[in-house]
Amino acid sequence: MSVTLDIRLKRANKVYHEGESVAGVVLLVCKEALQHHGVALTMEGLVNLQLSSKSVGVFEAFYNSVKPIQLISSNVEVAKAGKIPAGKTEIPFEFPLSTKGNKVLYETYHGVFVNIQYTLRCDMKRPLLAKDLSRNCEFIVHCQPQKAKVVPTPVHFTITPATLQNARERSLLPKFLVKGHLDATSCVISQPLTGELVVESSEVPVKSIELQLVRVETCGCAEGYARDATEIQNIQIAEGDVCHGLPIPIYMVFPRLFTSPTLETTNFKVEFEVNVVIVLHDDHLITENFPLKLSRV
C-alpha cells in the first residue's frame, strides 16, 4: 500500500515575515483508503549553536551547555484519527507566525556554528504494523525591514606593499599598486556588493583577483565565547594578467540562506566580512579585509 505525504506551502518562495500566516496544504496521495490515528502538524523555529573542534578543549566546561534556542513552536492536529479516502486529499492549514513574549524571530540562516532554521513537520500516526509517516518542510523567515535608513558610503582603498600588515620582508615584495572602492560596506542583503578595482601597476603579472565572503560566528555565554571565521563563497572577478589602468567591476550577490542581516544577541553573533584577494603569478597572496554590515530594508 503506497502512500505519500507532503507539505505544500502557498508561497512559491517559502518566505514569510513575522506576523504573517504560514499557509498551505498537507497533501496525501494513496491508492486505496487509508486508516490512521491522527495527522499532526508542528511548526518550530530553532537556533542551533555548535562549537568548533578547536574550541572544544578550551571551553570544555560549557561545551555541553550549548543547547538549541527555541524561537517559536506550535502544534496542531489537522486530522483526527479516521480514514482517508483513496486518491488525492488536500488538508489546508494556516499557522500564525508570531512569538510569545519578547522573543524575536531571527532571520533564517544556515551557517557552520550557528544555524537558524524554521520547519514544518507533519506526522501521521498509523495503526500497528504500519510505519508512522513524517514529512519535514523548511520555510524561510525574513526579519522585518530595519527602520534605520542605510546610507551608502563608498569605502576607498589603495593596496601597495607598504600598506600590507604582516609582510616580513617588504623589500622582497614585487611592486604593485591597486586602487579601488566599495560602493558601501553597509549593505542591503538583497542587493549585490558593488564597487570597482583598478590594477594601476604590478611588477609581477596578476593571476587572479577574488572576493571572499566570510562569515564570523561567535558563540558564547557568561563563561566565555568562541569566535570562528569561515568562507561562505569565493567569487573570482579577474583572471590572468588584467589590463592595467582599466576599472574592473566588483560585484557579488549575497547568497540566500547563507547570509542574513548582521545579528548580535546575548548568546551568539553572526557577522560578515569580505576579503579582496589578489593572487600574483608568483603565488603571492594579497588580502584586504572589509567588515560588512548587512541589513534588510
**Site of interaction with other proteins (CB under 8 A):** 8, 11-13, 50, 52-54, 110, 112-113, 115, 205-206, 209, 228, 230-243, 246-249, 251-253, 255-258
Smallest gap from Cβ 188 to other proteins, in A, equals 16
Handedness of CA 156, 159, 160, 162 (dihedral sign): positive
Which residues make beta-bridge pairs with 187?
A: 294
- Determine the Cα–Cα distance for residues 229 and 231; give it in Å rounded to an integer: 7
Closer CB to other proteins, 112 or 221, in the complex: 112
Smallest gap from Cβ 151 to other proteins, in A, equals 23
Smallest gap from Cβ 82 to other proteins, in A, equals 27
What are 48's three cell numbers?
542551533
Smallest gap from Cβ 76 to other proteins, in A, equals 24
- Determine the Cα–Cα distance for residues 271 and 217; give it in Å rounded to an integer: 6
Closer CB to other proteins, 101 or 245, in the complex: 245
- Determine the Cα–Cα distance for residues 254 and 191; give it in Å rounded to an integer: 7
- Determine the Cα–Cα distance for residues 157 and 97; give it in Å rounded to an integer: 44
Closer CB to other proteins, 115 or 160, in the complex: 115
CA dihedral 201, 203, 208, 209 (to 10 degrees): -40
Closer CB to other proteins, 38 or 273, in the complex: 273
Closer CB to other proteins, 50 or 267, in the complex: 50
Smallest gap from Cβ 189 to other proteins, in A, equals 13
